[in-house]
Structure 1
Amino acid sequence: MGDLVLRDDRDGVTTLTINRPDKLNALNVPVFEELDAHIASIETDTDGVGCVVVRGAGRCFSAGHDLGDIAAGEKLPRPNFQPLVIERLANLPQPVISAVHSHCYTGALELALAGDIILASENAKFADTHAKWALTPVWGMSQRLPRRVGKTKAAEMMLTAQTYSGRQAEVMGLANACYADDGFYDAVNAFTKTMLENSWFSLRALKKLLLDTDGLDLTSGLAHEIYKSQGVGPDMRDRIAGFGKK
């Protein structure tokens, strides 16, 4: 494994850090290759990995798709490589949290949107700048952004290429929470710690339920929940017994 995406495992949390701080963590093909390799390792390790945090090294989350790579002509290991990696990240069995500080533009926002939860610092800067560069999205922006913030707000973001702060992102529902810049990652750690106190079985089952029923009408979704959910976890009896002893 190289050093463009760093992996840290601690207390059930696997942190993947995009590590091109000299390039503002711009996303190139080698970054996606390393990210893909990490995801392949994580997706089968549900006993050791309770959740995944994606973040950026240095000054920002990521300035987005490396425009230099686009201009030079990217050499992909297979067609549609980057969106497939983002989809694989989004479909991990474990919950995925995108921890965004400072720049999170365009391709980086598409990567962040793969997270089940987005946590932002106050200095976060979210934008979709496809229109500024005469580009159209192919990494999921037109589908994931409207599902996150609603069609009209997504249209505003995509058509104006405006930048939105962490607080604005929280208000519009793009970010689940916004924290002060000082202590941002302490807040992220506290969030993951609280979440992982719950049943890891349930975290995975709930995520799968949300993914499997996305886009279904109410009747179909309810039927899926009743007949196709994951049921009871192996830790249910111990958890209920422990509650009874309190």
Structure 2
Amino acid sequence: MLQSLGWEDLGERRRAVRLSGSSYEYILSEKVGEKKNVGLITLNRPKALNALCDGLMSEVGDAINKFELDESVGAIVITGSEKAFAAGADIKEMQNNTYAMIARGGLLKNWGRVAQCKKPVIAAVNGYALGGGCELSMMCDIIYAGEKAKFGQPEIAIGTIPGAGGTQRLTRVVGKSKAMEMCLTGNQVTAQEAEKMGLVSKIFPPDQLVQEAIKLGEKISSHSQLIVALCKEAVNTAYETTLQEGLHFEKKIFDATFATEDRKEGMTAFVEKRPPKFTNK
């Protein structure tokens, strides 16, 4: 595992150079869609079934940063291959860590960026989404799955527990009983089971999945980025607070939209029966 507490390691220096450029070692990043308004991040470690090493997650974070700053991008899609979205965290990289090393904050330090993104992030999951892969999909705002996708938190089988939000996000989405069963047994669930549990929004044939996720991203990107960000924040507040706190927050955000030019344009366009021309202001 590359040292994560300093810049002395040559591998870290090389990684910094890669991140400052446009090409990556572990992912592919591009703008897609008819209007090139959707950012597409493809996990690209096929021999390791897209195992989530520190380098890969650093690159995902860097790509998220770039898309978030790009005013032409309204939504982001993260996907893997048809065989694996991500089969888990890189166990070989973690194997020799100690409690003291982890307590200093070196492990999983780059994993929170996806969940912090202000723009909507869509996970397009084909194949295995296990351990860290399942956690990464849950960091996204919407999960589309291929018909053969499988989700699971198998950490219990290797003597540990989910460490990137698995016990927390899964419980909030599917409830205590299902989350307990998945986390305590390590059993996998199919895409169809995941949809019934509310973990997955829609299921598609594997070869159509990414394109359907991009279509969703294009639909979201057609709206005001400013209002979309506010709406995402309101939904996340419902996910994390009580009903009364959420209702209070929603009302404040709703009121705030009336201070925006895009709210005025959207309502005016509706009354005039024409498409709105949002300016993200």
TM-score by length of 2: 0.79
CA 18–41 in structure 1, closer or farther in 2 if over 3 Å, else same: same
CA distance in 2, matches of 1:161, 1:210: 29
Kept after mapping to 2: 8 A contact 1:62/1:105: yes
Q: What secondary structure, in the 3-state scheme, does the structure 2 residue paired with 1:126 have? A: strand
- In the alignment, does 2:247 pair up with 1:238? no
**1:88-237, aligned counterparts within 5 Å?**
88-228=113-253, 230-232=256-258, 233-237=260-264
CA distance in 2, matches of 1:220, 1:80: 34
The root-mean-square deviation of aligned C-alpha atoms, in Å, is 2.2
CA 80–223 in structure 1, closer or farther in 2 if over 3 Å, else same: farther
Higher deviation after alignment, 5-14 or 114-123: 5-14
Kept after mapping to 2: 8 A contact 1:86/1:114: no
Larger Rg over CA atoms: 2
| Counterpart among 56, 65, 84 of residue 80 in structure 2 | 56
CA distance in 2, matches of 1:196, 1:93: 13
Fraction of identical pairs, as percent: 29
Q: What secondary structure, in the 3-state scheme, does the structure 2 residue paired with 1:61 have? A: strand
* Aligned position for 1:33: 58
Kept after mapping to 2: 8 A contact 1:20/1:57: no
Q: What secondary structure, in the 3-state scheme, does the structure 2 residue paired with 1:97 have? A: strand
TM-score by length of 1: 0.89
- What is the CA deviation profile of residues 142-181 of structure 1, one whole-angstrom value per residue up to 9, with x for unaligned ones? 1111111111111111112111111111111110111122
Q: What secondary structure, in the 3-state scheme, does the structure 1 residue paired with 2:139 have? A: coil
Structure 1: gaps (5+ residues):
none
Which amino acid in structure 2 is aligned with residue 28 of structure 1?
C
CA distance in 1, matches of 2:185, 2:132: 16
* Aligned position for 1:79: 105
CA distance in 2, matches of 1:138, 1:21: 23
Kept after mapping to 2: 8 A contact 1:95/1:207: yes
Equivalent residues, number: 243
Kept after mapping to 1: 8 A contact 2:73/2:221: no
CA distance in 2, matches of 1:81, 1:210: 29
CA 112–122 in structure 1, closer or farther in 2 if over 3 Å, else same: same
Q: What secondary structure, in the 3-state scheme, does the structure 2 residue paired with 1:17 have? A: strand
